[in-house]
Amino acid sequence: MVDNFAKVVELRLSPKRFKHTLGVAETAEELAHATGVCVEKARVAALLHDYARELSPETLKGLAREANLDDQFSLNQPELLHASVGAFLVQRELGVTDQEILDAIISHTVGRRKMNTLEQIIYLADMIEPNRDYAGVQELRAAASQNLKTGVVAALDHTIRYLLNINKPIHLHTIDARNYFLMGGD
Ligand code: DGI
Ligand code: FE
Ligand code: FE
């Protein structure tokens, strides 16, 4: 089944994005192993996390309406919709029903407070997988090597700083997640 998911995703994504997806799977498996999460589940969530990533903004908005998604912020920045729409589509097209996997896909882009361990793994793996190459990624990998929570906070910080630098609005879930983990949430 997992190999089938890899095949399905390979057909939907550009070679570059598929390579990124395999990198996320590799990193997610390592993080799952280190934290006692089911490695197979982490692999499936990773393989499917960007399922809707290459759909057009119009298609994403149409599917968001169909799925009754009401996140106004994401509806105004359709790029963010690929997370929730991806969860909607893997349910409908692939029959994925595992809520933990669906939640990990939903929260992988902006995060959310009280992210469970699998959600944290996918959020972080998406940002530090081996093919990622941006200023600061090494620091994030170093933080992740300490422990999952340290890596997640560093990743949330990095995203918030990046969005400030490029003058983009910041999703409240991202701020909320950072506050939650900084104030002791795990
Ligand atoms: O799908 P990927 O490219 O692998 O990575 P992703 O799902 O983390 O999406 C990254 C994009 O999402 C990137 O262009 C920045 C954007 N993004 C993430 N959080 C926010 C955001 N954009 C806005 N405007 N606000 C956010 O809070
Ligand atoms: Fe994504
Ligand atoms: Fe991704």
Q: How many Å apart are CA 17 and CA 10, to the nearest integer?
A: 9
Q: Is the model's pLDDT at 1 over the cut of 90?
A: no
- Write the pLDDT tens digit of every residue in 117-159: 999 999 999 999 999 999 999 999 999 999 999 999 999 999 9
pLDDT at 186 (0 to 100): 76
Structural contact between residues 49 and 108, judged by C-beta atoms closer than 8 angstroms: yes
Identify the residue whose tokens are 């939907």.
Answer: 12
Residue 21 C-alpha to ligand 2 middle, in angstroms? Answer: 9
- Write the pLDDT tens digit of every residue in 35-89: 999 999 999 999 999 999 999 999 999 999 999 998 999 999 999 999 999 999 9
Q: What is the mean pLDDT of residues 17-37?
A: 98
Structural contact between residues 86 and 64, judged by C-beta atoms closer than 8 angstroms: no
Q: How many Å apart are CA 46 and CA 133, to the nearest integer?
A: 19
Percent of the chain at pLDDT > 90 equals 96
Ligand located closest to 125 CA = 3
Q: Which atom of ligand 1 is nearest to the CA of 53?
A: 1
Ligand located closest to 79 CA = 1
Residue 119 C-alpha to ligand 1 middle, in angstroms? Answer: 16
Q: Please tell me if the CB atom of residue 71 comes closer than 6 angstroms to any atom of ligand 1.
A: no
Residue 167 C-alpha to ligand 1 middle, in angstroms? Answer: 13
Q: How many Å apart are CA 108 and CA 126, to the nearest integer?
A: 7
Q: What is the 3-state secondary structure (H, E, C) of 42-85?
A: HHHHHHHCCCCCCCCHHHHHHHHHHCCCCCHHHHHCHHHHHHHH
Q: Is the model's pLDDT at 2 over the cut of 80?
A: no
**Confidence (pTM):** 0.97
Residues 43, 52, 130, 174, CA torsion sign: negative
Identify the residue whose tokens are 């700083």.
Answer: 161
Q: Is the model's pLDDT at 185 over the cut of 90?
A: no
Residue 49 C-alpha to ligand 2 middle, in angstroms? Answer: 6
Better-predicted residue by pLDDT, 102 or 185: 102
**Whose C-alpha lies nearest to ligand 1, atom 16?**
80
Residue 126 C-alpha to ligand 3 middle, in angstroms? Answer: 5
Q: Which of 13, 54, 79, 85 to mutate to test the pocket of ligand 1 (most atoms within 8 A of CB)?
A: 79
pLDDT at 126 (0 to 100): 99
**Whose C-alpha lies nearest to ligand 1, atom 19?**
110
